[in-house]
Amino acid sequence: MKYFIETYGCQMNKYDSELVAGILEGAGYCPSLRPEDADVILVNTCSVRQHAEQRVLQRLNSFKALKLERPDLKIGVLGCMAQRLGEKILVEKPFIDFVIGPDSYRNILQVLNGVHSEQRESSPKIFLNEYESKETYADVCPVRVRGVNAWVAVMRGCNNYCTYCIVPYVRGRERSRSAQNVIEEIRRLVDEGFVEVTLLGQNVNSYWDGEHDFADLLAMVAKVEGIERVRFATSHPKDLSEKLVRVIAENEKICNHIHLPVQSGSTRILQLMNRHYSREDFLAKVEMIRKYLNPVGLTTDIIVGFPGEEEDDFRQTVELVREVEFDSAFVFKYSPRPGTRAAQFDDMVSAAEKTRRLEEINTLQKEITKSKNRQLIGQRGVILVEGRSKKSETDVMGRLETNKIVVIPNTILPKGKLVEVTIVGADGVTLFGRVNHQN
């Protein structure tokens, strides 16, 4: 039997697809590169924005024709949308065979055996998470595409209830894997040839296994022999501790890159978002990070057009972006998610105004990114070679520890090697480098 998984959304979802592949391959299923060749099609979905859900619904419709051609084909919806909509998906799209929420993937074989069996009608087709789920999939071996970087989830769920976010409702309460279990997985990754790991969680800063916090875990991972670089995502500003930043500063292998979503520069809006920090708190964290880490890549997420965001609130966000000078920012228009508190707030910002605000911040950030990149020309840095550049077969690309991508034209370098380069150019947001030849 062959399976095909299509994944939408965040890196956690991509990791979850690797877990599902691990469960299926453990039971003898083989991967298929094309849905047309698969016996089982799985769509791992995202609910974070309305647009993401609409894309998935359209995509599901495109699989309907395959189901009509081959009635034995099984189609399953996984992930956050499966958890959020549950039975509604089966009612509205009867060609879908089953839905499984993010903490219930261990049931996938039971579901598949059921839909392949004689008792199809009585077999369960819906497995949703329990709110207090303790699932961490600690004993499941994810199936990864061989490469340089592997993603490793160290915790699941979120307790923060930011008012715009659906994650705590679909992924449940926070729970962490034990540090020992994470280290064992990373040792296996080294044996498989990975040299970089990115530790993943909705809010890694609140990692706690009963004995170790996230700073302890990072320091332990950095000691694993064969690992050259350690990254992590995502940090909540309220939980980013000085201890953690010191651990990053003290360990050469832990990359000086922090993705720190600010979301808004207005304390009033941050309160409405239930973020538990003020504009001043955020700026103090940035100052603390820059006191210990130099250079440091600082990136962020921003939501524009949150309900009640007035021009003055927005200007405060613009000013914060100008003041902090992030290396890059992902800017999103607020998208109401049914079931969240903010979806019931009044005072919606118009679609046109959201677009204007998004474009203003994107234009400003692009200028900042370009200017910061130009300042790097002439400087030396070490890249971890990831492979061929996306744009040219003759160029190689790698990342600085700050997460900036550097392209080295017309060269051949082995994947997974650390190489010292000099930055020789910056074109827009792309940096170009030259290999420093050592004697």
Q: Which residues bind ligand SF4 (CB under 6 A)?
A: 158, 160-162, 165, 167-168, 202-203, 236
- At 254, list the tokens: 């832990």
Return d(Cα 362, Cα 358) in angstroms, integer: 6
Q: Closer CB to ligand SF4, residue 128 or residue 165?
A: 165
CB of 142 to ligand SF4, least distance (A): 21
Residue (of 44, 211, 76) closest to 142 by Cα position: 44
Q: Closer CB to ligand SF4, residue 165 or residue 217?
A: 165
Q: Closer CB to ligand SF4, residue 163 or residue 365?
A: 163
CB of 164 to ligand SF4, least distance (A): 7
Q: Reduce the DSSP state of residue 436 to 3 states and report it.
A: coil
Contacts of 375 (CB under 8 A, 6+ apart): none
Q: Closer CB to ligand SF4, residue 64 or residue 276?
A: 276
| 160: exposed, middle or buried (Cβ count in 10 Å: 0-12, 13-18, 19+) | middle
CB of 332 to ligand SF4, least distance (A): 11
CB of 78 to ligand SF4, least distance (A): 18
Phi, psi of 380 (to 5 degrees): -100, 155
Q: Say if CB 6 and CB 59 are below 8 A apart.
A: yes
Strand partners, 7: 44
CB of 156 to ligand SF4, least distance (A): 11
CB of 234 to ligand SF4, least distance (A): 7
Q: Closer CB to ligand SF4, residue 156 or residue 231?
A: 156
- At 154, list the tokens: 């160290």
CB of 168 to ligand SF4, least distance (A): 5
Contacts of 64 (CB under 8 A, 6+ apart): 93, 95
Q: Reduce the DSSP state of residue 418 to 3 states and report it.
A: strand
Q: Say if CB 157 and CB 129 are below 8 A apart.
A: no
- At 172, list the tokens: 């449940």
Q: Say if CB 332 and CB 354 are below 8 A apart.
A: no
What's the distance, CA 298 to chain centroid?
16
Q: Closer CB to ligand SF4, residue 193 or residue 339?
A: 339
Strand partners, 197: 150, 230
Q: Reduce the DSSP state of residue 232 to 3 states and report it.
A: strand
CB of 144 to ligand SF4, least distance (A): 24
Q: Closer CB to ligand SF4, residue 131 or residue 161?
A: 161
Q: Closer CB to ligand SF4, residue 128 or residue 166?
A: 166
